[in-house]
């Protein structure tokens, strides 16, 4: 039986309760992590958590440094740290456990009808997943980054930003537009695809019951690796796109 | 692909809030702390560099002072040596001149005394010769008296 995500209709809009739940949980984990690290932070005697967070910050600073001048990239530092922590935690979130309930036709959640697939009386509902395994969530993160790159390009580097659509010659305009469209698509779909595929594989392996335990362990490890890599890649590409928008080389 | 659009906006809002919270309560303070640490380390390094320079300078000064002191001591010793030898020379010179003066004085005294003695002797001799001459002249008047005179002298000499 296929796992579906808990969906309700409220105010005429479809709401994915699992995504809302995990988005909230991820946000809270990230904030608490950061808050704990900063609590009692000191200049001369940092705590272990503070050291860890400072290491993350240094990591993101280096990441920015690979694509542009660190001074120019300074305003996006906090964005980069927030993104890498949020995406990493989100990618990890779906791995260790699953909360599955059975629901019958007509089941409700807080007085709202759970939507079941057509023609099925019963369904297994999975309440737990990586929020980034949802294309809309990955798309939202992508939208933040892409909108910001265009806004910053227009704001800080208007002439060169507009000119770059017509380079090297004016007929290249369509190609440049395709390039600008492919950026957000690849950015969001890469993240979504990797994490979603990992979750699908886990649910497939789970169906093997105990035979699949070794495979599950291996795949969990691999998924952690993928999750870390994807958060890294996402932030790196963010900075690369940002630098393409705001930096112009003097020829 | 089944897209639940509400997720998109929920994530957008959630990330916006998270970003605001993080920058306000977590990364803002932490970044300022990191900046402060950078400053702190820089200050410490500067301080260390300064103290090193100061120490070096003081060491140099000490060395110079020591050198100066050594030179002074050497000069003082040298001067003392010179003064002492000069003084010794002076003393010797004075002693020599004193001695020669004394000797000269003594010689002069002797000369004076000798002259005085000679003068006195000469006076006596001339007086005696005058006396003898007068006596002779006195007694030449007659032989008798001459004889008498000789006898008298002889007596006189004999009695003396």
Is the pLDDT assigned to residue B27 strictly greater than 90?
no
HSE-CB of A90 using CA atoms within 13 angstroms: 33
Interchain pair B7, A143: CB under 8 A:
no
Asked if residues A17 and A128 have their Cβ atoms less than 8 Å apart, the reply is no
Q: Hey, where are the domains in chain B?
A: 5-159
In chain A (251 residues long), the average pLDDT of successive 10-residue segments reads 64 76 87 83 77 86 84 83 89 73 61 61 71 85 89 82 78 84 88 86 79 83 88 90 77 48
CA dihedral A19, A20, A23, A25 (to 10 degrees): -110
- Please give the pLDDT value at position B103: 94
Nearest CA to A224 out of A189, A206, A245, A198 is that of A198
Residues of A in Cβ contact (< 8 Å) with B30? 34, 37-38, 41, 50, 53-54, 57
pLDDT tens, residue by residue, B33-85? 888 888 999 999 999 999 999 999 999 999 999 999 999 999 999 999 999 99
- Please give the pLDDT value at position A1: 38
Tell whether pTM > 0.90.
no
HSE-CB of A179 using CA atoms within 13 angstroms: 12
Q: Best residue in B4, B20, B29, B31 to probe A by mutation, most A CBs within 10 Å? A: B4
Residues of A in Cβ contact (< 8 Å) with B36? 43
- Please give the pLDDT value at position A179: 85
Neighbour-count burial for B128-144, b at 16+ CB within 10 Å, e otherwise: eeeeeeeeeeebeeeee
Q: Best residue in B3, B5, B11 to probe A by mutation, most A CBs within 10 Å? A: B11
Classify the complex by whether its ipTM is higher than 0.85, answering yes or no.
no
The shortest C-alpha distance from A28 to chain B (Å) reads 8
- Please give the pLDDT value at position B108: 94
- Please give the pLDDT value at position B89: 93
Q: Does A54 touch chain B (CB under 8 A)?
A: yes
Q: What is the mean pLDDT of chain B?
A: 87
The DSSP 8-state label assigned to residue A115 in this structure reads P
Q: Best residue in A33, A38, A70 to probe B by mutation, most B CBs within 10 Å? A: A38
């Amino acid at each position: 039986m296929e796992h579906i995500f808990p969906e309700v209709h409220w105010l005429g809009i479809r709401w994915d309760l699992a995504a809302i739940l995990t988005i909230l949980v991820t946000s809270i984990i990230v904030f608490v992590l950061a808050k704990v690290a900063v609590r009692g932070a000191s200049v001369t005697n940092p705590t272990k958590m503070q050291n860890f967070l400072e290491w993350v910050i240094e990591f993101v600073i280096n990441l920015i440094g690979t694509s542009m001048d660190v001074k120019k990239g300074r305003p996006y530092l906090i964005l980069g740290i927030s993104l890498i922590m949020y995406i990493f935690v989100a990618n990890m979130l779906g791995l260790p456990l699953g909360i599955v309930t059975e629901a019958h036709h007509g089941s409700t959640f807080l007085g709202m009808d759970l939507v079941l697939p057509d023609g099925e009386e019963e369904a297994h509902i999975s309440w737990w997943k990586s929020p980034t395994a949802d294309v809309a969530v990955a798309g939202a993160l992508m939208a933040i980054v892409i909108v910001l790159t265009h806004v910053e390009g227009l704001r800080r580097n208007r002439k060169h930003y507009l000119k770059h659509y017509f380079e090297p010659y004016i007929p290249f305009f369509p190609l440049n537009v395709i390039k600008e469209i492919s950026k957000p698509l690849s950015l969001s779909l890469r993240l979504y695809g990797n994490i979603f595929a990992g979750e699908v594989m886990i649910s497939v392996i789970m169906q093997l019951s105990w035979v699949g335990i070794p495979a599950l362990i291996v795949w969990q490890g691999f998924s952690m690796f993928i999750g870390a890599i994807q958060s890294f890649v996402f932030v790196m590409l963010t900075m690369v796109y940002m630098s393409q928008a705001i930096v112009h080389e003097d020829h | 692909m089944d897209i639940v659009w509400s997720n998109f906006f929920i994530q957008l809002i959630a990330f916006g809030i998270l970003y605001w919270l993080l920058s306000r309560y977590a990364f803002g303070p932490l970044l300022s702390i990191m900046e402060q640490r950078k400053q702190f380390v820089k200050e410490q390094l500067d301080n260390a560099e300064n103290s090193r320079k100061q120490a070096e300078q003081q060491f140099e000064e000490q060395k110079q002072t020591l050198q100066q002191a050594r030179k002074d001591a050497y000069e003082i010793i040298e001067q003392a040596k010179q003064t002492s030898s000069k003084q010794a020379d002076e003393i010797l010179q004075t002693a020599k001149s004193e001695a020669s003066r004394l000797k000269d004085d003594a010689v002069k005294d002797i000369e004076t005394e000798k002259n005085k003695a000679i003068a006195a002797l000469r006076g006596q001799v001339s007086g005696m010769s005058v006396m003898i001459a007068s006596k002779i002249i006195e007694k030449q008047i007659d032989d008798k008296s001459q004889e008498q005179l000789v006898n008298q002298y002889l007596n006189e000499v004999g009695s003396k």
